[in-house]
Structure 1
Amino acid sequence: MVTLGEGRSRVDAVKGVSFQVAPGESFGLVGESGSGKSTILRAICGLAPISSGEVLVDGERLGARRDKRFAARVQMVFQDPYGSLHPRHTIDRILSEPLSIHKLKDRDRRVLQALSDVGLDPAFRFRLPHQLSGGQRQRIAIARALILEPAVLLLDEPTSALDASIQAEVLNLLTRLRAERQLTYLFVSHDLAVVDHMCERLLVMRGGEAVEALEEGRLATRDVRSDYARALMTASDGFVRPQSGLGSPVG
């Protein structure tokens, strides 16, 4: 459970939600704004207080504070590519900072490889975030998350702030990176079709609670049981699934 505020302003943002994600799996959390899905990611990262319950990674219970060991295993990509990067830091500094914190060597090679991994030219290394498009900024945010070579990525609506064409490219990029690195994804979105495209299993949330768990294939056959999940599915019917391939490498 995650509780925010006190007294009359107290809000139980997440209530009794439990799930397991297998290594290499992509698991989705879907629901409207305020459903608690992003709060779960923040709780896992230690950015939201856990009032009861526990979070386990590789069977190890996490304490109240997240340490460097946790950061080396689990990284998060935030929704807003404009707000998640320091506006006065070059891309080189943004990507180098995690390496410095963790005292990792061979910085130049790692930074150049991170840019290549997300489809960006080395020339981007010494640009500032305002010189990049929204899609390019989100690629940098993904590169920063991956530069420590974590096993798990927490993805908080990573494409919702992007144009539709760029959204498809970033989703394809995430699909490729997961396959190449055997990554585990916990993917949050308000769009049921996006989560269905990216994930083997998903959990539908509403008002901080779990509404329905859906296994792979049930969305394709429209096998949903709750009225809320059915409404989300109807709202997502106009979604056009991304095609394979990344398209422009600098979108």
Structure 2
Amino acid sequence: MSMLDVEDLNVWFGDGRDRVDAVKSASFTVAAGESFGLVGESGSGKSTILRAITGLARNWSGRISIDGASLSGAKRDRSFYKTVQMVFQDPYASLHPRHTVDQVLGETLHLHGFRDIDARVAKLLDDVGLGNRFRFRYPHQLSGGQRQRVAIARALAGEPDILLLDEPTSALDVSVQAEILNLLTDLRDARQLTFVMVSHDLAVVGHMCDRLAVMKDGEVVEIMGVETLRNHQAIHPYSAALLEASVVG
């Protein structure tokens, strides 16, 4: 069963002479429970696709559907955010600096309509490996990895089916990156989540994803399985060059 369908997606910024076409005729599908990667150089359009899905990129055409339901325009209703959540690259920028972890998670749970908020906050912190002692800390009192764990807990609060991961470890120290990736893998298994992960790091994608789309200048030039990635068997010249420049095994 397909959880996400993207068909002939175009995303642009500006109008007339100032128009920039960031994504051009991109198409791919992601099955329920699959982890799908979007890779390419900076500016290739991979993060813009996530922004179109969430409504953060307003100008788009084509078709995006979530679990069979088509999206339109930039407006997303509450049911969308119960199904789809996004984890951003910079965990410090995505958390309110004057809100404690308890406030961040409690307010999110309240917005999703939950009542047993106290117990759910405690469970979320346990699920991301923090525990109750971090509950009343502010973002500046947390390390980068701890902040990203809070951001992941917030994304999980509404019990979504899909997590959109926009370079979720690139702002973290190398020593912490593996911990967050392993946490995400465990959460995917435990909660039967579907992942769409944007990354410039092919080694990360090779570790986390089942399939991936390679993007260049806003276009999807190749879709391949992770074994093709690991075996350096890309067909498109750009994909082959990208793999050649990376260490993936």
Aligned to 2:6: none
Partner Cα separation in structure 2 for residue 72 and residue 101 of structure 1: 10
User: Structure 1 residue 236: deviation in Å?
Assistant: 2.2
- Letter of the aligned partner of 2:89 in structure 1? Q
* Structure 2 residue matching 1:19: 3-state secondary structure: strand
Percentage of matched positions with identical amino acids = 63
* Structure 1 residue matching 2:196: 3-state secondary structure: strand
User: Structure 1 residue 195: deviation in Å?
Assistant: 0.9
* Higher-strand-fraction structure: 2
* Structure 1 residue matching 2:178: 3-state secondary structure: helix
Partner Cα separation in structure 2 for residue 146 and residue 204 of structure 1: 28
Conserved? CA contact 2:232–2:244, under 8 Å: no
* Structure 2 residue matching 1:55: 3-state secondary structure: strand
Of residues 39, 50, 58, the one that matches 1:49 is 58
* Structure 2 residue matching 1:162: 3-state secondary structure: coil
User: Structure 1 residue 137: deviation in Å?
Assistant: 0.3
User: Structure 1 residue 102: deviation in Å?
Assistant: 2.2
User: Structure 1 residue 203: deviation in Å?
Assistant: 0.2
User: Structure 1 residue 229: deviation in Å?
Assistant: 1.4
- Letter of the aligned partner of 2:34 in structure 1? E
Conserved? CA contact 2:213–2:224, under 8 Å: yes
Aligned to 2:236: 226
Conserved? CA contact 1:193–1:233, under 8 Å: no
Higher relative contact order (CA 8 A, sep 6+): 1
Pairing 1:26–2:35 present: yes
- Letter of the aligned partner of 2:27 in structure 1? S
Of residues 36, 59, 64, the one that matches 2:68 is 59
1:39-188 correspondence to structure 2 within 5 Å: 39-64=48-73, 65-188=75-198
* Structure 1 residue matching 2:223: 3-state secondary structure: strand
User: Structure 1 residue 192: deviation in Å?
Assistant: 1.4
User: Structure 1 residue 226: deviation in Å?
Assistant: 2.0
Give structure 2 stretches of 5+ with no counterpart: 1-9
- Letter of the aligned partner of 2:129 in structure 1? G
Partner Cα separation in structure 2 for residue 141 and residue 236 of structure 1: 29
Q: Normalising by the residue count of structure 2, what TM-score does the alignment of the two structures yield?
A: 0.93
- Letter of the aligned partner of 2:72 in structure 1? G
User: Structure 1 residue 235: deviation in Å?
Assistant: 2.8
* Structure 1 residue matching 2:38: 3-state secondary structure: strand
User: Structure 1 residue 113: deviation in Å?
Assistant: 0.4
Partner Cα separation in structure 2 for residue 233 and residue 75 of structure 1: 30
- Letter of the aligned partner of 2:140 in structure 1? H
- Letter of the aligned partner of 1:29 in structure 2? L
Give structure 1 stretches of 5+ with no counterpart: 242-251
User: Structure 1 residue 9: deviation in Å?
Assistant: 1.7
User: Structure 1 residue 76: deviation in Å?
Assistant: 0.2
* Structure 1 residue matching 2:25: 3-state secondary structure: coil
Conserved? CA contact 1:191–1:232, under 8 Å: no
User: Structure 1 residue 232: deviation in Å?
Assistant: 1.9
Partner Cα separation in structure 1 for residue 32 and residue 109 of structure 2: 25
Pairing 1:16–2:25 present: yes
User: Structure 1 residue 121: deviation in Å?
Assistant: 2.0
User: Structure 1 residue 230: deviation in Å?
Assistant: 2.0
User: Structure 1 residue 127: deviation in Å?
Assistant: 0.3
Counting matched residue pairs gives 239
